[in-house]
Structure 1
Amino acid sequence: MIQYSLKCASDHRFDSWFQSADAFDKLRRNKLISCAVCGSDSVEKAIMAPRVNNSAPAVDRALSTAKSPAEQALADIRKHIETTSDYVGQDFAREARAIHDGDAPERPIWGEARADEARKLIEDGVPVAALPFLPTRKTN
């Protein structure tokens, strides 16, 4: 495993672990790494300091630290949505419509939809909103 300090095109900085340097390169090339703050897939390695052993286990250290109140607010929104809603992935449009039509139990959901699917939901009066981040599975 290797840990890299990363930054996006908006200069948000965060750390992430990868199986190898080659794994990082492959994920980046396929745009499967995204900014932990804004979701941008324009991510590159940042200048890194040498690793200093810390007594806290790696799993206890945050992989992303917000630098401004706005970034912290986005991080808080993301955490709230991820912990209080069901992630339905690519089935978002179908599931949102089923909930709206009463064919599925009402509950908070989040997921992914193509632009044309989202537009159709809005046109049909289904209450949806775009989120300012990508699903965790796309962050690495």
Structure 2
Amino acid sequence: MSTPDPPDDAVRELIMLFPRLVSRAKRIVPPAQLQAFNLAPRHRSLMSLLLLDGPQTVSQLADRLEVAPTTVSLLVSDLSRKGVLIRHEDDADRRRRIVDIAPDARDAISEWLSPFAAAWRRTLAPLTPAERRLIVDTLLAYEAAVADG
């Protein structure tokens, strides 16, 4: 009988971990102000970027989310109609529209999404920049490998 390959131990542990992570993330319910909007993970990602990095253009958001600008535009339109996001002219270039979190929704969104960012900050804080990059690159590689089937 052979002993398991050490990477298999890590694989086993990760296979058990990921469903728990997803389950816990799903249990973090949006505040009452946002519950009626049927927000999907893609909405959470968009709002997280705006919360962490501030107002951005649709093109910037599309680049960061790695989706088409039309997809972001549809998300922004949907959330704007619901009063969650706002769009305004860029003072530097009036042709550009800037997307931001609506002032009335900012506290609710922060209450909902800040625990995710805080948990990552606590987890990554003791690591070196190279170690943090390794974790991110590893998760990105895993995502790509799963997508490739």
TM-score calculated relative to the size of structure 2: 0.26
Q: Work out which structure has the larger RCO, using CA pairs closer than 8 Å and 6 or more positions apart in sequence.
A: 1
> Whose strand fraction is larger, Structure 1's or Structure 2's?
1
TM-score calculated relative to the size of structure 1: 0.27
Structure showing greater radius of gyration is 2
